[in-house]
Amino acid sequence: MPQQTVCPTCAEPLDPDDVFCGVCGMNLSAPPPVPAPSTEPDFELEPAAGAGPGCVHCGGRQVAPDGYCEACGGVQPRPRDHMEQSLPGVAGVSDRGVRHHRNEDSFMLAATSLPGGASAVLAVVCDGVSSASRPDEASQAAAEAASQSLLSTLEQGVAAEPAMRQAILTAADAVAALAYDGTAPTPHSNSPACTFVSTVAAAGVVTVGWVGDSRAYWIPDDREGAEPYRLTEDDSWAARMVSAGLMGEAEAYADARAHAITGWLGADAEEVEPHTVSFTPHVPGVLLVCTDGLWNYAEAATQLADLVRADARADPLRAARVLVDFAITAGGHDNITVAVLPVAPLTVEGYTETLLDMKVLGPLPTQPAAPLAPPMPPVPPAVPAPAVPSD
């Protein structure tokens, strides 16, 4: 039996002679628990660990089919409490966190190829609005609808930005439909609603779409030579106050209303304004797509960049897990979902890396009035800035 230096259950340091852990009472002479397989499952959601026979709370043997322990009444981990998925080119992790009783976030990852043969990878992350009814169903419906829509339009050769806008509208319809599916409305709650953020990396171009306060960040591998960047602008009260010039950023974000969202998907959203942005990365890095369960604890792109593992591009799942663990350790006040999408610059004939900087490949389709153009600081030469349609 290998020598244990810390208790496998509670991480208390052990003496070589210890038979039981002095803190949690773990029997150390028993065979150590089999660690969860570290190989990532392909195309499969992994339920939370520990869902074996017996109650995870009291150890009781009987758990009713509806998921409640027949001794202590404790609810058993549900598949959505912790979800991980990994595909070639993208990985995502979602967790219930600490202070919420269920995971109302949802995400979808997918990969396909464009008609020309180039591969396209996408991630969709949605955060159910807690004050609305059935937020968990809303986020799942949105993520599934958007992912389906993106796959079919991209495969048909639709350009990424119009495809993204269509996906957002499709997701909005799917969430709105939940309000009319015959389920009795929860008293005192609004119609099912959620936020939305998605990225597509295809043919060297990254396209981001969002509604609400879920975010996407660009984190370059080389944190010295290039600057990490936030790619989305929240549909939130604070962001509106700042962009309208009514408040400074510090003042706006200190306000109790700061996080009230002004845009969402749902039957009672007045009008869904899909925001989209595209850019061409000229250096390797990762796209970080996340809910506020993460960015509440590390708001600035530079802060987040410090938490992204240097090998994130090689092992995106691990990078996503580390970010989720960071948010849980920081308090886990909300559900946390993180998708990590590695991006490498495309070497296209006729371009050199220096020339590629920020250039959007292909003509941008004309876009309706850009909502809340993200106010970006002056673009330093080596920093990729989103190409926002100017009008």
Partner 1 sequence: MAKLSKSNPPTFNTDIFQNEYLADGAREVNAIVTVTSTGGGTTGGRPLGSLDAAAAAPSGDSAVVIMVDCSGSMDYPPTKMRNARDATAVAIDTIRDGVAFAVVAGTHEAKDIYPGDGTLAVADDRTREAAKQSLRKLSAGGGTAIGTWLDKADKLFLSRREIAIRHGILLTDGRNEHEKPEDLQRVLDRVTGHFTSDCRGVGTDWELPELRRISSALLGTVDIVAEPSGLAEDFRGMMATAMSKQVADVALRIWTPANASVKFVKQVAPDLEDLTGRRAEAGPRAGDYPTGSWGDESRDYHVCVEVPSAGVGNEMLAARISLVLPQADGSTEVLSQGLVKAVWTDDLASSTRISPQVAHYTGQAELAESIQVGLEAHRAGDLDLATAKLGAAVRLAHQTGNEGTYRLLQKVVDVVDPKEGTVRFRKDVSEADSMTLDTRSTKTVRVKK
Nearest CB to partner 1, comparing residues 30 and 49 = 49
Which span (41-49, 70-78, 167-175, 339-347) binds partner 1, by CB under 8 A?
70-78
Q: Establish if 99 lies at the interface with partner 1 (CB under 8 A).
A: yes
- Shortest spacing between CB 308 and partner 1, in angstroms: 27
252, 361 contact by CB (below 8 A): no
Sequence-ordered list of residues with C-beta below 8 angstroms from that of 149, at least 6 positions apart, any chain: 163, 166, 167, 170, 171
Kindly give the residue spans of alpha helices, DSSP state H, lying in 229-376. Answer: 237-243, 249-254, 292-295, 301-307, 316-329, 353-356
Q: Establish if 72 lies at the interface with partner 1 (CB under 8 A).
A: yes
- The C-alpha atoms of residue 282 and residue 112 are separated, in whole angstroms, by 23
- Shortest spacing between CB 75 and partner 1, in angstroms: 4
- The C-alpha atoms of residue 4 and residue 120 are separated, in whole angstroms, by 45
Looking at 16, 53, 187, 378, which residue binds partner 1 (CB under 8 A)? 187
Q: 297: closest CA among 319, 318, 326?
A: 326
Nearest CB to partner 1, comparing residues 100 and 223 = 100
Q: Establish if 96 lies at the interface with partner 1 (CB under 8 A).
A: yes
DSSP summary character for residue 27: B
The pair of structure tokens assigned to 58 is: 């009291």
Which span (1-9, 16-24, 67-75, 302-310) binds partner 1, by CB under 8 A?
67-75
- Shortest spacing between CB 8 and partner 1, in angstroms: 24
Q: Establish if 69 lies at the interface with partner 1 (CB under 8 A).
A: yes
Q: Establish if 257 lies at the interface with partner 1 (CB under 8 A).
A: no
Which span (93-101, 270-278, 298-306, 322-330) binds partner 1, by CB under 8 A?
93-101
Q: Establish if 377 lies at the interface with partner 1 (CB under 8 A).
A: no
Spatial strand order in the sheet of 196-202:
105-113, 119-127, 196-202, 205-211, 275-279
Q: Establish if 135 lies at the interface with partner 1 (CB under 8 A).
A: no
Looking at 52, 116, 188, 350, which residue binds partner 1 (CB under 8 A)? 188
Looking at 4, 68, 328, 370, which residue binds partner 1 (CB under 8 A)? 68
Nearest CB to partner 1, comparing residues 51 and 75 = 75
Helix/strand/coil for 12? coil
Which span (61-69, 153-161, 165-173, 242-250) binds partner 1, by CB under 8 A?
61-69
CA dihedral 324→196→198→299, nearest 10 degrees, is -50
Q: Establish if 101 lies at the interface with partner 1 (CB under 8 A).
A: yes
Q: Establish if 131 lies at the interface with partner 1 (CB under 8 A).
A: yes
- Strand (E) or helix (H) holding 220: strand 215-220
Separation of first and last alpha carbons in the chain? 69
- Shortest spacing between CB 64 and partner 1, in angstroms: 8
- Shortest spacing between CB 58 and partner 1, in angstroms: 7
The pair of structure tokens assigned to 15 is: 């003496």
The pair of structure tokens assigned to 22 is: 């002095």
72, 57 contact by CB (below 8 A): yes
- Shortest spacing between CB 34 and partner 1, in angstroms: 27
Q: Establish if 344 lies at the interface with partner 1 (CB under 8 A).
A: no
How many angstroms from the chain centroid is the CA of residue 300? Answer: 16
Q: 303: closest CA among 276, 330, 284, 278?
A: 330
Looking at 71, 344, 364, 379, which residue binds partner 1 (CB under 8 A)? 71
- Shortest spacing between CB 175 and partner 1, in angstroms: 21
DSSP 170-197: HHHHHHHHHTTSSPPPPTT-BS-EE-EE
Note the residues at the interface with partner 1 (CB under 8 A). Answer: 58, 60, 64, 66, 68-69, 71-75, 96-102, 130-131, 187-188, 332
